[in-house]
Chain A
Amino acid sequence: MSVNKNEVLLEAHDLRTWFEIKKWGFLHVGFVRAVDGVNFKLHRGESISLVGESGCGKSSLAKTIIGINRPTDGELVFEGKSIKAASDGDMSEYKSEVGFVQQDPYGALPPFMTIQRILEEPMIVNGIKDKAERQSRLEEVMTELKLTPIVDFLDKYPHMLSGGQQQRIVIARSLVLNPKLIMADEPVSMLDASVRVEILELFRKIQSKRELAIIYITHDLSTVRYFSERIWVMYGGKIVEQSPVRELLLEPAHPYTRALLAAISEPDASNIDKFKKVPPGEPPSLLNPPAGCRFHPRCEYMIAGLCDKKEPPDFELADNRITACWLFKDKEDASDVAI
């Protein structure tokens, strides 16, 4: 069965997730605007990387998408159905369509359960009563993840496995329900470089074989090229740039994306005499984000009177790119703005 890659799987319209801050438990202080006006379209079988610094709201967005946080405002549309109005029953059905791969494999696996139990549990919760079917699905995903010979693993506990194997169990667990979308929150950041690539490649293979849509969250731009077709760059609770990977790496549009790319180290001996160009200041507080563009206090191309007053809308560029930056008003191509 092949999926239509032009069909939209998940759509967000002006999605907002705010967390209320209270003093002494009842006085309202303000809202942390972790996700603040996010729009996107995710197609079937598409692999996306969501990139941003810590505290920019990427994990909050992830949790909103998988249904742990309910959005404060805006809506999420999955296969044409809005999640906002979903009943609890619909919601649990939605959750079974969306898998989650946690960041820290050791923390994500219950230490007192055997691998068999860990992998079976999602199926039991979601009402797959036939034991033989559970077993066959479990063996299928374990083979896919090269956790073989299977019998060697089933009776083990998580602490008996290496970091790479634990992460593969976490991925296997997210796959047993045959989801359509996987949310992977920094799946390899806790692993060593030599294992990291192995896991990413394996994951990528499974993704294209099963035609899964994946949102891969990371702060490491250098791995995204190996994993996804498109990148979303997030800053201060908003997605500031959406672009195909290759175009973004060759020609970043948004000034923040440029800064991120410039900061990445490559193993090169000539680095030793060079200083990196880093924008001054710190990411904004999401409790009191700056007016206008959220990057403007750190941006060297800031247009006074515009960037600090009005929030930039999403401008569409060639090659299917979108960026929220005033520099690209009435422009068609990322290269039209020579900075």
Chain B
Amino acid sequence: MAQDNLLVVENMHLYFKTRNGIVQAVDNVSFNLERGKSMVIVGESGCGKTSLGRAILRLLPENVCRYDGRCLLNGEDIMELSDEGFRKKIRWKKAALVPQSSMNSLNPVIKVSEQVAEPVLLHSLVDDKDEALKRAAAAFKKVGIPVDFLGRYPFELSGGMRQRVAIATSLITDPDFIVLDEPTSALDVLTQANIMNVLTRLKQQIDISFILITHDVSTSSEIADMAAIMYAGQIVEFTDARTFFGKPLHPYSERLMESVPTLEADDKLGYIPGQPPSLINPPTGCRFADRCNERFELCSQDPPEFVVEGGRMVKCWLYKESGERYVS
């Protein structure tokens, strides 16, 4: 069966040059996302998940020293486009970003309606401002903000409302997918649940994919169809979310899931001793080996990406034999 892939990323690299050396923030990352599905990129801070999101949208800082790989959106290689072509054809129109703490990025002296309408005007998707404001009103409805909030200033809105405004801004150009970078990490539990409800409803109502970047495994389970676990610049597991939350495969994913507090179970929480490796000089073998309690001889070599039952990808030597977990 031919898959209808919205986004295919192959061998993506993004390295930064710093005074201390080259930071391998995204190191040989590949995945594909089917149309209409949403995925989550989970990992600890500093594992490169934000860099990966930015690499897809080509929103790069100045000190990039390596940026390559293939990135196919609807079958078209968007890495081939020039910067200007990318800006005109892809950014906002096909792919939008809700950056980290975007609720605090609103301009305090401009009405929210104008800030939400700005992308459609800049990309001349509509003829005049009235129409743009109409689309802003429609976007407000989609995220559940009363339309009479259009004339307000950001300081008149609560944190949850501002976060919704940021999401409305990304929706207004009707993109194919939206990258959401930690959309709920600064919010309270109730507000967080509200935002996740908004995203779930959007997913059901309109044809859109989300790429959610977060360190919070629990909330990510609310909208993710696919889960990508990132560790030290690499995706170590990429699987269907339904099976992932029940049974993670990679030892890192397992430890990560054990460290998530839950309300019911009386089990003891686990944690991962040690710290993630520096991305400047990452270890040559498996990058998790130093903290892994299941390491064996092979782990000193870089594990390839094994595909095991159910098409799950896992980058761990334990799965080298036909998907069965190796027991030493």
Name A residues whose Cβ lies closer than 8 Å to a Cβ of B.
53-54, 162, 164, 192-198, 200-201, 219-223, 225-226, 249, 259-269, 271-272, 274-276, 278-279, 282
Contact = CB atoms under 8 A, between A and B. Distances in A.
A201 B259 CA distance: 12
Given A225-B261, A265-B219, A278-B193, A197 B224 contact: no
B272 A278 contact: no
Given A192-B44, A278-B194, A282-B158, A271 B263 contact: no
B226 to A, nearest CB: 11
A265 B221 contact: yes
Interface string B179-194: 0000000001111111
Contacts of B221: 265-269, 271-272
A269 B219 contact: no
B8 to A, nearest CB: 23
15 contacts: A53-B188, A54-B188, A164-B275, A193-B44, A193-B216, A194-B44, A197-B270, A226-B261, A265-B192, A265-B216, A266-B221, A267-B260, A272-B221, A275-B197, A275-B201
A263 B190 contact: yes
Contacts of A192: 44-45, 215
A193 B222 contact: no
Contact of A272 (B188, B189, B224, B262): B224
Contacts of B219: 265
Interface of B: 44-45, 158-160, 188-194, 196-197, 200-201, 215-225, 241-246, 255-257, 259-264, 269-273, 275
B142 to A, nearest CB: 16
A266 B262 contact: yes
A279 B194 CA distance: 9
Contact of B218 (A201, A225, A267): A267
A276 B224 contact: no
A223 B197 contact: no
Nearest to B187: A54
Given A196-B259, A260-B190, 13 more contacts: A192-B44, A193-B44, A197-B271, A220-B189, A221-B263, A249-B264, A259-B190, A263-B189, A264-B263, A269-B245, A271-B221, A272-B221, A276-B194
Given A264-B189, A269-B242, A222 B222 contact: no
> Lowest 9 CB-CB distances: which A-B pairs, in order?
A263-B193, A265-B218, A269-B242, A276-B193, A197-B271, A198-B271, A269-B245, A194-B272, A53-B188
A302 B190 CA distance: 19
A57 to B, nearest CB: 14
Contact of A193 (B190, B196, B260): B260
Contacts of B45: 192
A266 B275 CA distance: 25
Contact of A265 (B193, B271, B272): B193
B223 A272 contact: yes
Contact of B262 (A219, A222, A271, A279): A222
A193 B257 CA distance: 9
A191 to B, nearest CB: 9
B271 A278 contact: no
A219 B184 CA distance: 13
A271 B221 CA distance: 6
Contacts of B270: 197
B261 A222 contact: yes
A267 B261 contact: no
Contacts of B194: 276, 278
B312 to A, nearest CB: 14
A267 B245 contact: yes
